[in-house]
Amino acid sequence: MNTASATPPNDGRHDLAGLSLDLDTLEQAYRHGGLTPLALVEELERRALVTVDDKVWLYRLPLPALRDAAQALQQRAARGEVLPLYGLPFGVKDNIDVAGLPTTAACEALRYTATRTAAVVEKLQAAGALLIGKQNMDQFATGLVGVRSPSGHCRNPFNPDLIPGGSSSGSAVAVATGQASFSIGSDTGGSGRVPAALNNIVGLKPTPGLVSTYGFLYNNRTFDVAPVFALTTGDALQVLDVIAGHDERDPWSVIGQDWRKSANTLRERFRFGLPAAQHLEFFGDLEAKAQFERALSWLQMLGGEPMEIDFSAFAEARSLVFDSPLVAERWIDYGATVESHPDAVHPAVRQSLRAGRNYNAQQAFECLYRLESLKRRAWSALKDVDALVLPTAATIYRCDQVEAQPQALNTNMGYYTYFANPLQLSAISVPAGLREDGLPFGLSFIGLPFADLRVAALAQRFHARIGGMLGATAAPNCSGKPY
């Protein structure tokens, strides 16, 4: 939204059933359509009652609390406060703390009432966004499939038999189905991008350190990030603009990095990197392969020139995320719960976490040394292109397929995403049209550290060319407005 202070219009009620929650639509409704945050929370409660069994939310704020928050927000606007995210409803993944609310990371044995509020939530509420609640997830943020929540998982809105993607499953489905304008998840190996692709929305994964992860339960603390799920790239960038910045409470927060310097540097004609053919894998999914090829042709029509790059460093870094001492870091936050309450932990999650005990300190340091070398090689490979372009997910599986082969198929889902955070790269996944079978397909744009705006500009240009609908709603994607 614009940074001008929002003036709350009258409290007249409107037919809000078909209201899209993208930022442009809500801004216009607030300014010129008579919508108020109070009226919006009433509509969101109505939508929640309709979808009460969809397992998107692990905790929703009670309606009286939402009404109070909406009224307080209207009073702030009336006083002339500058509220760039005025009245935008959002949710957070349930491994993100909000003081006074429960945090479970989808494990009841871990449940506690938070005494702190995550930095991202503080900034969003200060900017006028309305917190709706905590969203479902793959337990302990361990998984890319979205079906590892013992209390029940949410469903893919395009086909309930298919996985919604994880681990930020609820965060993506909430945005795709019109239950939130945006969500904040967590991303270790693709959890801010894979569920975005599988739900036809945008998943913006910032460069590690750009956004504070203070107040998170970590998976891999050294490279976890806070991604933004939104209906459009412009929406995601507006949120990123609010939450980015140094936070002294987070030791991995980057100091003094001018990430905005990459803005407006994209040329009409641009180069995009592609791996050699032997690195492209779709696990037999010919629909995904065909959609990727169509997406590449659209990129070339937009002025893009493909350029093959050396993908070997990316491929090797991908293998380190779950097949190296890096997995030992996950034991820090969750090991005690796994040991004391093993039956409360999803079997696939338990197996993944216990693998972290198989490494020693020497192996850990050798892995870190190797990773530093791979970073330099990957950065060198990216220096002559505006972005590396890849499918976000190579395929999409049925829930029963994943239950039958939980480890192997989960690994397949991260084929194009695992490497980005260990290599400290910027990335964004945007919808790339629907496949011939009607399922969504996502395209990822990946760039150098702190090239977030540069790769997002290319992604936004592409998404505007694709058009289509916003998420799983009937609202058209007509937002080509530059950030």
Q: How far apart are CA 305 and CA 315, in angstroms?
A: 23
Question: 449, 258 in Cβ contact below 8 A?
Answer: no
* pLDDT tens-digit readout, 343-362: 999 999 999 889 889 899 99
- Identify the three-state secondary structure at position 41: helix
Q: What angle do CA 433, 439, 444 make, to 5 degrees?
A: 50
Q: What local confidence, expressed as pLDDT, does residue 123 receive?
A: 98
Tally of residues, the chain:
483
- At 240 the pLDDT is 97
Q: Are 235 and 182 in contact (CB under 8 A)?
A: yes
- Please give the Cα distance from 316 to 191 (Å, whole number): 19
Q: Per residue in 421-475, pLDDT tens? A: 999 999 999 999 999 999 999 999 999 999 999 999 999 999 998 889 999 998 8
The Cα angle at residue 200 between residues 425 and 69, in degrees rounded to 5 = 85
Q: Name the band, by pLDDT with cuts 50, 70 and 90, for residue 33.
A: confident
Domains and CATH numbers, the chain: 23-466 (3.90.1300.10)
- Pick the residue with more confidence: 53 or 112? 112
- Give the catalytic positions in this structure: 93, 167, 191
**Segment among 4-8, 92-96, 329-333, 396-400 with least mean pLDDT:** 4-8
Structure tokens at 87: 């009245």
Q: What is the pLDDT of residues 225-278, one digit of tens each?
A: 999 999 999 999 999 999 999 999 999 999 877 778 766 666 789 999 999 999
Instruction: List helix spans (H) across 341-448.
Output: 347-354, 361-382, 399-404, 406-413
- Helix and strand counts by DSSP (H, E) for the chain: 15, 13
